[in-house]
Chains A and B, each alone.
Chain A
Amino acid sequence: MEKEAVSSTHQLSQVSIRFAGDSGDGIQLTGERFTTTSAIMGEEVATLTDFPAEIRAPLGTVGGVSGFQLSFGAGDVFTAGDEVNALVVMNPAALKINLMHLKKKGILIINKDSFVEKNIQKAGYDTDPREDGSLKDYQLVEVGITSMTKEALKETGLKPKDVERCKNFFALGLTFWLYQRDLTPTQDWLDLKFAKKPDVANANKLALKAGWIFGEATELLVHSYEIDHKDVHRAPGLYRHVTGNKALSLGLVTASKKLERPLFIGSYPITPATEVLQELSAMKHLGVTSFQAEDEIAAIGSAIGASFAGQLSVTSTSGPGFALKSEFLNLAVITELPLVVVNVQRCGPSTGLPTKTEQADLFQALWGRNGESPLVVLAASSPVDCFKMAFEAARLAVKYMTPVVLLSDNYLANGSQVWKIPDVSSLPELQPGYDLSKNTPDGPFSRDSITMARPWLSPGMPGSEHRLGGLEKEPVTGNVSFDAYGHEKMVHERADKINLVANDYPPLPMYGSEDADLLVIGWGSTYGSIRWAVDKLTAKGIKVAFTHLRYLNPLPNDLKPLMKKFSKILVPENNMGQMYLRLGGEFNEKLVPFNKNTGTPFKEKEIEEKILEVLES
């Protein structure tokens, strides 16, 4: 079979592929296997999941379509790609809502067995899209994925229902041939995963191989493709691929190890944050106490209780749950107890779109509480960065004795990347900001001279008995005080302490050309798309600078001087312009907002075009 190598230039050294089908078709698993295989082959990957809020919407309808998209290749891979080179659809409904993601002339693999009249109608087509010319711009490859899987597995003795469940591995095998993926990691994984059900492992392996062989034999597909590996330069070390939620969970448990205090998570299930509770619930052997509370309020309450008792404490949620937690978050502010609150953002307002991404909880995190209530707000910039920022959130929480809100979002939570597994011994040790081994506090609200942290005194420590509460306190003693000037002093002490946190940040990262006229400021999950666009424009000789914020409150000390250097500042966000407003955009014509509220991340091209538009304006 003739093979055609994909160009090794930056833009073309990457391939994007999307799998789509009914939410019961095993699409997510198929995508994950493709991702892991590519990562093991040394390539960089970035993924995007797209699934319905319903667990099993009616079969064959557009409401029940689950999608998984990934980019893989050499060099930097920042996003799952704007458009895909190949689209694999398991039914007409999946075709209907995913065709828009396929490049013109791209490869369209469809499971022709499911293209029967009933399914075509259910998908909302008036006519069969294969026959009405609507697919003429694509390389249509019709494959009997279901029937050939049945044929390949007819001698396994498995029940028809179980045989049909293997069809995603046939599709995987076919795409493995198309992009010349190594079969071994998936075969090994099946053996491990179904160690107790070897017949299931074998059936899936048979389907995988049958898909590959079909690719090799069929004349429907002319070429297979290879990624040019000459640009694959990965540092030596151990690697895996992780989703944002997984990385975040690992960051928290690693922080607890470096703090030498057990981790407590009190949470309540909520999409798309639930995996954080699930992951940590399976880490009891690492000293994690996981508590599934009766509601969002009890979840944060239990975490504050555990913090009072001396543990590194976390609660994880999404926007609606975060709203419920706000009164308790304020209690953590006034009692100055360390706490990490993870908000995996989704589209709001209210229940909104639970499985779609947005960055619209920034104001809620910064200011969504009564009174003067300063706290630290951080945001992860990529799935892998969720590890780092979870660790940072814990570090700052205990060092400054404060709640820290860590913002992630649906895109980061379910997206994945290759992650270089850190050496735990190389990570810094974490310490409470008031060192009780060196100082003896005059009271529970005595402050460290540098961090302004109060001592972390917990029940069980003789001689430290004290009373905490939500009422205003007298400085130092922490006794309830209604004194007006005492209140003003405490308002300032709390604010001053949080402002000190900015002295503890790394310098702002700079990308592109620092002598450009235009600075792009991103925060959170927009990093990948912006970085791709800025790199691409820079390679073309177009001057644009980019900095990315991961520390949102207090804002970094070097941000204001940096902003002064540029005549235009573009702020792309998956919201209506919250960071833009935070940076004074409403009254500063230098700032240009760029907003997207479609529940999906920015496309690389959208950022690129907007930068060009601003440069030309």
Chain B
Amino acid sequence: MAQATNGKMTKLLNTPLKVFTLYALVVLAGSIPAYYYIVNRIWLSEIDMHNKFVKRKIEKELNTIAINDTILAQNIRLWSHIEPGINLQPVAESTRKNDSRYTVMKSTVLHSKRLNRFRGLSSYLTINGKWYHLTVETNVEETDEVISNIAFVTIGFFILLVIGFIGLNQRISAKLWQPFYNTLNQIKTFDLSSRVPIAFEKTNIVEFEELNNSLQKLIDKNRATYQEQKEFTENASHELQTPLAIIQSKLDLLLQSKSLTANESEIIEAAHKALARTSRINKNLLLLSKIENQQFVDTEMMNVSQLVTDSLAFLAEHSETRNIVIEMRVEEYVYMEGNRILLEILINNLLMNAVRHNKDNGLIRVDFSKQGFIVANTGISNALNEASLFKRFSSSSSQTPGSGLGLAIVKQICSRYHWQIGYSFDNGFHTFSTSF
């Protein structure tokens, strides 16, 4: 089965993390101009108040001192020189306007090249009954400096948020989603054909509990169906045995008839053959369902090398009649634990196939060791369809009427003992390798 792990797959918890991070980024980025706007406004209004205060102070102080106009003009000039931010000019009353505030960029004396931002107040006041135009300009922090400071702090907070998200996410993943991952692992390891029922851990989260319950129901139902199907095969095969036995016995009796002609005898023989094949299929179906139903529970430690040698010895007479050469390399005294009958069937089926599907004057190579059992044989000159090879009734060779179940049984036995069975075709050899 193809694992669904392409590049676009992400873990469940990483998806909200990404979205949250993106959202935080947008919000924080949006907050920078907002902060700037607010800070700037507070700042300007503070400076405006300050400027107003300066104006009031000047007006009050100059009116209380009560000096004459010449000295006042001299002082104003001196003052303008020392404090360029404050400018006081005598004006005609007619030019008087309402107070106004403004922002201006200009260079200070000290930093002549750099432009600084100033907030100014333009106002009119009377000193000693004469009208003066007063401008007070106070240096304000530059816009880019304000923005960069705010941005700097904001980025700092953003980083803190992301670290927090990742940390929290991991904790959530470890705790909150644990039941989900438990369930997932249970399902991953679940095998319908295994007899072990699945049991989900209890969880106090409603959704997970619901998920578990639904899965439990689904699985139980499937198991029941599967069980029924298996039992059906077994029962059906059983039920067929008796009628088959009757037919067989009747044919045997018929063969005893004194008046039998050669022709009739051939008919009986043909029927016998077909019947033998039917009972063979039936027996093998029964065997398959028995293996699936785990009915071969007895295990023993046995010399498997001996089983292989015995089977080869038995096959020798069959291979010899067709002039098939068997090259064998059997490691001696390989002991394995398993069910004797199943192991015999596995070995016999593989070796028997190598003889049956071989060509006359062919070759069989048998390699048995602790690692595995490899049977290679010559035969038809093209590769068999591996995908269907181990399926029931998918005999890819029609001229040899086997039961069509031999390899399915081999596969079933292998999976029972968690062995790997594979097929390959190379250099004219069909190779079946079992690795223990």
A and B found bound together? no
Which residues does A use to contact B, with CB under 8 Å? none
**Interface, chain B (partner A; CB < 8 A):** none
